[in-house]
Amino acid sequence: MKILVLSDSHGNYRALSKVMTDIHADLYIHLGDGERELDRLCIAYPDKQVYHIAGNCDFASLSPDELLISPDDKNVIYAVHGHLHGVKYSLESLKKTAAQKGANIILYGHTHCRYNKYENGVYIMNPGSLSLPRDGQSPSFGVIELLPKGIITNIVDI
């Protein structure tokens, strides 16, 4: 199973559309701050399986603040935007909450900085920003592949 992880598109419909139309995935997860352009794409491509959560800039959003899904029978994904967990300062609150929920994959955005680590049996990813990276690198998104013998995570430049 291939999962695309997107975050912080901040109104950049072109970047979000390019990734979602050029790259096939079984599942798309948007981590917030891009709900309006994502809504447009969901209407244009109703066959795509898309999950999204509210970011701090998704004003008047009806989307949830967190997502807990099990896309297969082995893995549990906990996804948040990150602002409610203070991810700009530390990942400890996020890791603790994810552990309490039984997640082995943690996804977050908000910082606009890439992060892709494997720590103590848990994959932690921030895909960076689709439009406004703050780490001196190119705009990016994440890819997770759930394979029979393991998990592969990667961050890809647009």
Q: What pLDDT digit, counting tens, does each position of 63-106 carry?
A: 999 999 999 989 999 999 999 999 999 999 999 999 999 999 99
* 2-41 confidence digits (pLDDT tens): 999 999 999 999 999 999 999 999 999 999 999 999 999 9
Tokens at 133, concatenated: 């990276």
Q: At 113, is the secondary structure helix, strand, or coil?
A: coil
Domains (range + CATH), the chain: 2-157 (3.60.21.10)
**Beta strands at 105-107 and 77-80: parallel, antiparallel or unpaired:** parallel
**Distance separating alpha carbons of residues 85 and 82, to the nearest angstrom:** 5
* 3-state per-residue secondary structure call for 52-106: ECCCCCCCCCCCCCEEEECCCCCCCEEEECCHHHCCCCCCHHHHHHHHHCCCCEE
Round to whole Å and give the CA distance between 112 and 115: 10
The reported pTM is: 0.96
d(CA 133, CA 127): 10
